[in-house]
Chains A and B, each alone.
Chain A
Amino acid sequence: MTPSELIAAFGPVGGVFIYLWINRAQPKAEKTPDPLKQIETRLDHIVTSQADIKTDLAILLDRRGK
């Protein structure tokens, strides 16, 4: 078995393997934000806003009581 035969046999196979390895995951620069994470952030924001409103209401009611 000559080196040229080995290259002809394993070269293309290695090329395909490298191509697959390079493309196994999306590059970080192209990654779009996870929609679930975005929804979670928005829901957290709503919960925080609700808590703020509750606190504000409690303060207002407390002042009125005085």
Chain B
Amino acid sequence: MNTKALAYTRFRGYLGQPILSHMQIAIIAIGMLFWIEAVLSGEAFSAAVFGRFALMFKAEFWAGIMMAASAMCWIGLRHPVKRWMVAVGAALQCAQYLALGYSAIATGGEVVIGLHCTTFFAPIYFRMFWEAVQRDA
């Protein structure tokens, strides 16, 4: 019996897609660079780009959430999938991107930044969260 062929054709589910893990690594790397930039220069982001609401919190706060939530998602997605970690990490990321999107769109930031946050990143993380809390996903 060709075990490899069988393993390849076996449906691994939504959370088994490798692209999701790659995405977490990329976001962790962005979070790390954002953190270093925020601590060393103190000018990691501005109200003109992200909006006044985002500036109510320190840049380290956003960078920390980005790193921690993506790290949780990445570890949760490693085999075997740990659904609770994916659910918590994805929920944090979803909330963060919605907050950043609101800030950029409604409190004086760049609208295109807000659109990326609310129409690209937040729905991806919401889908991950949803799939993680579904028992049969």
Contact = CB atoms under 8 A, between A and B. Distances in A.
Interface of A: 1, 5, 8-10, 12-13, 16-17, 19-20, 23-26, 32, 36-37, 40, 43
B137 interface: no
Contact of A9 (B39, B64, B78): B39
Interface residues of B, number: 20
B68 interface: yes
Main secondary structure of the interface of B (DSSP, over half): helix
Interface in B44-86: 64, 67-68, 71, 74-75, 78-80
A36 B1 CA distance: 10
A34 B64 CA distance: 36
B39 to A, nearest CB: 4
Contacts of A25: 78
Interface of B: 1, 3, 6-7, 10, 28, 32, 35-36, 39-40, 64, 67-68, 71, 74-75, 78-80
B32 A13 contact: yes
Contacts of A12: 35, 64, 67
A13 to B, nearest CB: 5
A37 B3 contact: yes
A6 to B, nearest CB: 8
B99 to A, nearest CB: 21
A65 B68 CA distance: 77
B35 A13 contact: yes
A9 B67 CA distance: 13
A19 to B, nearest CB: 6
